[in-house]
Structure 1
Amino acid sequence: MKVRQIIYAAKFEGSPKESDFKIVDEDLGDQLKENEFFYEAIYISCDPYVRLLSDSYIVGKTTIPGYQLAKVLESKNPKFPSDSILVMNVGWRTGGKSDGSDVWYDRTDIPKNVPMSAGVGIFAMTGLTAYYGVNYVLKPKAGDTILVSGSAGAVGTVVGQLAKGMGCRVIGSCGSMEKIKFVKSVGFDDAFNYKTESVAEGLKRLAPKGVDLYFDNVGGSFSSAVLESMNKGGRVACCGAVSSYNSKVPAQAPVIQGTMALNSLSLQGFNIFDDIPAYADEIYVALKQWAGEGKLKQHEYLTSGFESLPSTFIGMLRGKNFGKTIVNM
């Protein structure tokens, strides 16, 4: 079996460039050992954490990390027979050989009323992250006001739908009027443009009674400013800090401890690798129910072709995407 992979060809300096990536061929042979299987990629996910982890990559060797929805072609593994549909943490590859150790989730049972691409969206890292942050960290109650930063992105769009379905007032922050219209179309009550309006101005206008919950995808000085508008006892779910991923120097932000103490705020970080696995199965059951009832939809920015992965990834980091960024093989 011959496959292609994309490797880390040059160190990222600030925003990645297409020349930082290289496509290489790999021949896996035609033989399977016991418990191995061949698979091919159907959809590959593009995620900001790929940029965040780049200091650990080896130039010329590391396959760009990431996960994909894959179909099993041939198998000697009874747990993953032929035609299984799996979420696999194997990087940017057109296919490969596996013993099952890099399988995250079996998604052979994706509901018929949901697009298969949801296997790398609402039914994978994106949906699991959003659901965990909302239900296990923020724990909203009806009537709470929640702010979602990066609200037009993959996780943000899911958070907005979940919080709205739980009776919250949901507001977002976006970088354009076009994205504000988009998030309102997926269920947000309103949003402000952080490029034309300060955090204080936007929240005073949209949340005059203050913010109870904050789902933080961007970090930096933006998020520090949000804390000033939070109500006493407010809770923050720290999911990411995309505003600083391309920075060559550490992001500078005001000291937050005074505000945290004065208003009895709680801030909790979490990630897909350490915190969510123990809850993955029960979260998936809940997400399928939400999707089946039409309360949760897959919103995606979809491109086609393995070769388009680098440009699609770069575009996502620059805010080109609306919803989950996915490449269709």
Structure 2
Amino acid sequence: MMEKEMRRYVALELQHHVSHSDFVGINASDINYSAGRYDPSVKPPFDAGFEGIGEVIGLGLSASSRYTVGDTVAYFGSGAFAEYTVVPAKESVPVPSAKPEFLTLLVSGATAYIALKRLGDLAKSETVLVTAAAGGTGQFAVQFAKRAGCHVIGTCSSDEKAVFLKSIGCDRPINYAKEDLAKTLRKEYPQGVDVVYESVGGSVLELAVNSLATKGRLIVIGFISGYQTASGIPPFKGGTLPVKLLQKSASVRGFFLPHFLGDYREALTSMMQMFAKGELVCEVDCGDMAQEGKFVGLESVFRAVDYMYAGKNLGKVVVEVAPPNVGDSKL
């Protein structure tokens, strides 16, 4: 198949653009969105998916001042799981090419960059614990904490992931399938950890609270352990939380990316510069090792989500959305 036929495309209309991307990103929050937890007023059928990257195929009046047909753009907004999607031009970011690595920055990279910058208050030589460190956003939290001069601990579920974490600068990968996380932290970090970048929730969150150092900061960026339950929230024994925080002058801080959009463009620009200079690893998992093969086409989105929830991914899970036949095009 010719390269052009393999592309997905993006069209820009008035202030909006219709995008047809080469790749779309999978996020743990996809099932929260599709379950109606983010906006209970939305009734099915509705579009899902948060991010995509592809080529401009059409331009409206306002968009034509910024883009040209054939440009490659990345976009962060709902409705990415589609062969063509309409996105405001202002929510699009020009990228050098339709590499899936750029897609990793839109949600996963931006979450780590902004959360650590705004809520982490990182100082050189501090200790940072990243849970699910080999996942889509964890890989970036490890690298940004390391760039800040911190000692980085990362939890993961396999030796392969531990090797990957070492390769991106993690000082102490902990494979919790082989090591007891609580015992390891007590033994090797008796003074506690200064910052926790936490996305698992439940018992891991409780352990993270107990592991905080004096003046420690715990950043909650998600709680994937509960997303598949009826409520979407994992159980958390928080009865003694005020006492624990007071005794350590510690804090728990929540982070939700849409609340920090004022920081978004600077974060994306900075990360793209790092990637271009070879200073940032953007690990992508397209399902090459998945049982049923690589994630290609919208029909594989559900497989990609299941793959991520099974903890099989190394890096950001990405789906290649093959374009429809030209004769089937609705545009």
Scaled to the shorter chain, the TM-score interval is 0.7 to 0.9
* Residue type at the aligned position of 2:283: H
Could you tell me how far 1:117 is from its partner in structure 2? 1.4
* Residue type at the aligned position of 2:242: Q
Could you tell me how far 1:220 is from its partner in structure 2? 1.2
| SS of 1:188 mapped into structure 2 | coil
| SS of 1:231 mapped into structure 2 | strand
Match of 2:141 in 1: 159
More helix by proportion, 1 or 2? Answer: 2
TM-score by length of 1: 0.81
Q: CA 1:199–1:101 in 2, change beyond 3 Å: closer, same or farther?
A: same
Per-residue displacement from partner, 1:235-282 (whole Å, max 9, x unpaired)? 11111111111123642222222211111111111111112x101122
The answer on whether the counterparts of 2:195 and 2:216 sit within 8 Å (CA) in structure 1 is: yes
- Provide the rounded CA distance (Å) in 2 between the counterparts of 1:101 and 1:318: 34
Could you tell me how far 1:48 is from its partner in structure 2? 0.6
Match of 1:94 among 83, 96, 100: 83
Q: CA 1:165–1:34 in 2, change beyond 3 Å: closer, same or farther?
A: closer
| SS of 1:68 mapped into structure 2 | strand
Q: CA 1:251–1:33 in 2, change beyond 3 Å: closer, same or farther?
A: closer
Match of 2:317 among 306, 316, 325: 325
Could you tell me how far 1:37 is from its partner in structure 2? 4.9
TM-score by length of 2: 0.80
Match of 1:45 in 2: 25
Match of 2:104 in 1: 121
Match of 2:265 in 1: 281
* Residue type at the aligned position of 1:120: L
- Provide the rounded CA distance (Å) in 1 between the counterparts of 2:237 and 2:276: 43
Aligned pairs (5 A) from 1:64-213: 64-76=48-60, 77-78=63-64, 79-88=66-75, 89=77, 90-96=79-85, 98=86, 100-101=87-88, 104-109=91-96, 116-122=99-105, 124-213=106-195
Match of 2:245 among 260, 266, 276: 260
Of all paired residues, the percent bearing the same amino acid is 23
| SS of 1:274 mapped into structure 2 | helix
What is the alpha-carbon root mean square deviation over aligned residues?
2.4
Could you tell me how far 1:172 is from its partner in structure 2? 0.9
The answer on whether the counterparts of 1:87 and 1:103 sit within 8 Å (CA) in structure 2 is: no
**Any runs of at least 4 consecutive aligned residues in structure 1 with deviations exceeding 6 A, and if so which?**
none
Q: CA 1:265–1:174 in 2, change beyond 3 Å: closer, same or farther?
A: same
Match of 1:219 in 2: 201
Q: CA 1:229–1:37 in 2, change beyond 3 Å: closer, same or farther?
A: closer
Q: CA 1:34–1:242 in 2, change beyond 3 Å: closer, same or farther?
A: closer
| SS of 2:162 mapped into structure 1 | helix
The answer on whether the counterparts of 1:145 and 1:169 sit within 8 Å (CA) in structure 2 is: yes
